[in-house]
Structure 1
């Protein structure tokens, strides 16, 4: 099981002022340090650091299940996070964990809210299902995309 951040080329596009999923230039703000998870380095953006707020679609193309939502991103270039261990941005609270098929559509019956401590076990269970190609982790409170989990 591998946690996957948004691709570096996508992050650099946004960091260079490229249009987001809504065709807008990302907003530049300052992090408050408490709840601004970067979807590229998968770390919390430190207080006082510049960050981007933008609309992101974590799917290869528009279709009815390709949700678009707000995300935070370090304003400066950061290293891509991810890998086998639980990323820093998933260290507290609860999350929606949902499976998607090879067609990038929700696999019905796979979504649910889990506590952080149960996240990895739930993702492993979902990834054992043949119809689930990957899993999204989203905020349980705001439905914002956090990261993807692959086999």
Structure 2
């Protein structure tokens, strides 16, 4: 089973960088990275020390419904290439564990799929969830702060 790590879309990244409103209708905040704990949700790499980044609210769902969680995320302020490929992105190696949840085709949590897993077991657990007929994607979130990292799908 081959996994694909899905970042926020190019269109959404471009819109936010051009000053478009975030999921709450606000403009992104611009900050300078200290190089620690600033994972970009577009390239799925960490923003380096001294580099500008944006903080904004992201809702990684296509529809408004009770399970469409929204939360704060970071992204390089300058253009960066979207993560592409099947290799684990760098931002999923910096913590000791991550929260994984399975979602159905209706973008709602599939109950019983959520749990914190050690980073060494991330791919194994994502593959287990995606092998289920009722799970079409897995969201990866910070185990400490619940911040959305990326989505995992079958390649």
Alignment partners' CA distance in 1, 2:151 and 2:134: 16
Equivalent position of 1:131 in the other structure: 134
Equivalent position of 1:49 in the other structure: 51
Matches within 5 A, 1:87-106: 87-93=89-95, 94-106=97-109
Alignment partners' CA distance in 2, 1:62 and 1:76: 29
- Report whether the alignment pairs 1:60 with 2:92: no
Matches within 5 A, 1:2-151: 2-93=4-95, 94-151=97-154
SS in 2 for 1:82: coil
Structure 1 runs, 4 residues or longer, greater than 2 Å off: none
Work out the number of aligned pairs and report it.
Answer: 151
| TM-score under structure 1 length normalisation | 0.98
Query: Which runs of 5 or more structure 1 residues have no equivalent in the other structure?
Result: none
Please tell me the root mean square deviation across aligned C-alpha atoms, in Å. Answer: 0.6
Deviation at 1:92, TM superposition (A): 2.4
